[in-house]
Amino acid sequence: MADNYSDNDIIDDDLYEALNDEEIAELLEEEQSSSENDKANGRKRRHRFPRWIFWLIAIALSLNVIAILPKTFSIPAIDFLITSAELSSDPTIRTYKEAVVVIETEDSKGTGFSVTSDGTIITNHHVIEGSQTITVAFPEQGLFEAEVIAQDPSVDLAVLKVDEANLPHLALSDNGKWHEQESIYFIGNPLRFNGIANEGEIIGSVKLDDWDQEVFMLQAPVYRGNSGSPVIQNEEVIGIIFATLDHEDYGKVGLAIPIDYYYQLINK
């Protein structure tokens, strides 16, 4: 039996922030530039404070960066890079990755995936919401401008189209069935990386407010940027990752929209 959760319980926090080491670089550049100018002008530079103090400050700032590193780029986030490298040695996973795209708008980045050879792409509505221009990047075929041909904010889905032929694409499950406790693969563009493959399993379903159908939960390392990632089981896409949820029993889990929602959208 599915648990019930309010939409307000859904989270999709950014688990990565740029390390704040720009100040260190600026200080070092200023110091180097000033020293070179003094040498060029034949002057001995007068220091406002001893050089050792400057380096002490720089080292202290560097240590602060190291101290916050586990918080901004966690060990699990490093683990998914290792997992992706291992999975990508499988020719089947490499084939899947060819159909997974980077979707960029004026102020966001997410994931999508091609489902037809002539450029039909599935992603989340929140990835492209309010955008004037949408760029789709295939790993091998390059960049394309895309237009929205269908969307439904109530189930966080959008369908895009690019003008191209012979594109790699993924097979969709035609019955929408998924199996708990069986492994799944998903590929996306989490954090600042592209084309990251990972694995997990389906652990159950959950009913969200105002949704007609249940979504399923993944025990898997889902990060910001994985929105729009295909969930693949038995070589077919069975769902689309769209958020994460803090579950009272399982902790943080990924949430995926069943592929049935896509069929309902395009058949309206």
The answer for residues whose C-beta is within 8 angstroms of residue 236's C-beta and 6 or more apart is: 170, 171, 172, 173
Q: Would you state the torsion angle of the CA atoms of residues 122, 128, 130, 133, taken in this order, to the nearest 10 degrees?
A: -100
Output the CA torsion sign for 109, 112, 117, 118: negative
DSSP tag of 141? T
The residue annotated as part of the active site, out of 12, 84, 156, 247, is: 156
Residue with tokens 């097979």: 171
Q: What are phi and psi of 254, to 5 degrees?
A: -85, 150
CA-CA distance, 100 to 196, in Å (whole number)?
10
- Cβ–Cβ < 8 Å for 28, 58: yes
What is the SS3 assignment for 67? helix
Q: Look up residue 214 and give its two tokens.
A: 């249940």
- Put residue 72 in one of left, alpha, beta given phi > 0 → left and psi -120 to 50 → alpha: alpha
Our answer to whether residue 173 is catalytic in this structure is no
Whether residue 227 lies in the annotated active site = yes
169 is catalytic: no
DSSP string computed for 25-65: HHHHHHHHHHHHHHHHTT-PPPPSS-HHHHHHHHHHHHHHH
* Active-site hit among 84, 114, 125, 126: 126
From 84, 205, 227, 229, the catalytic residue: 227
Residues annotated as catalytic are 126, 156, 227
